[in-house]
Structure 1
Amino acid sequence: SPGILPLPPPSTKLPTGNPKFSKPLPSKYMDERRLKNLCFWCDEKFVPGHKCKNRQLYMMEIKGFLEEEGNDGLAGCGNEDTNQQPELSLHALTGAMGHQTMQVVGMIGRRPMQVLIDSGSTHNFL
């Protein structure tokens, strides 16, 4: 089944600036950025309340999750689910170790969604 939103138009732009990491930045890199008073994620000056101009939101959809009839999308509310639900850790995909990823079920409108909350990173992944 198609997703909720249409696909974005293809981009011909190449990424600029420093890449965003899902694992901790090297301390040497962070020290250099602090000395220059630059943001860790973009090449702008860091000031209190700074927000990167080119922020992105990443989402993964697990197809077929919670599509069984009779499931109301609630998890952990006393309903025993005998089916094994898929589990996916962002850190496991990238090879980063030592962080925690919380897996919950959320709703967008009336559609249940699998949500991964990466509590071990400096930026949130939902």
Structure 2
Amino acid sequence: MKVRREKRLCYNCNKVYTYGHQCAKKQFYMLEGKDESREAEVEDHDGAENVLEGSLEEESIICQHALTGSMGIQTIRLKGRAKSREVIILVDSGSTHNYLDPKTAKFTRVEVKNTNVCGISSHAKCTAFTWSMQWVEFATEMRLLTLGGCDVVLGMQWLIKIDHILLYAKQLSMSFMRQNKWITLQGIKEESKLMLMVGKMVRRLLDN
């Protein structure tokens, strides 16, 4: 990586990086790694930063948590509503873009623009997906991708547009400024999810 910086080479191809540079072939990356590894976390952030500085429109990085529905140190899970229906939203700083599950796009009836498909990443987009979180309305661009354990992923594409954002990992909450007002969003705690799963198992045993 040091050699590439010195030679001003693109991080994704061997061509010299200049303003407006785009890689010849679109690529899609999925980050994998253990949360307890601090070194792996730093490397993941470096990779995401390089992609964001290079050609954000051409490259996509999505964290493994967004595809499997698992929690990580870079994620907060929130409840939201879209078209009067509850959706599960994963705020994930390890993903470069925003992603919307195709099933969610279908029932919200958003306008989708289909382009080419590269690997497992669908480049179909909806330019104005609207939803609310704790009575606050939002709207942003989304890329369609089949997700696991959530309906929406809000990545760096959404986070970099927020002013003065504060993330509280232990409390699973985030606060930020919007229209000159502080907004605090409380995440879903895993304990409640575990209790719900245990409750369902107990009901099944009683039914049998």
Determine which structure has the larger helix proportion and give its number: 2
What TM-score, normalized by structure 1, do the two folds share? Answer: 0.33
Bigger relative contact order (CA 8 A; separation at least 6): 1
Determine which structure has the larger strand proportion and give its number: 2
What TM-score, normalized by structure 2, do the two folds share? Answer: 0.22
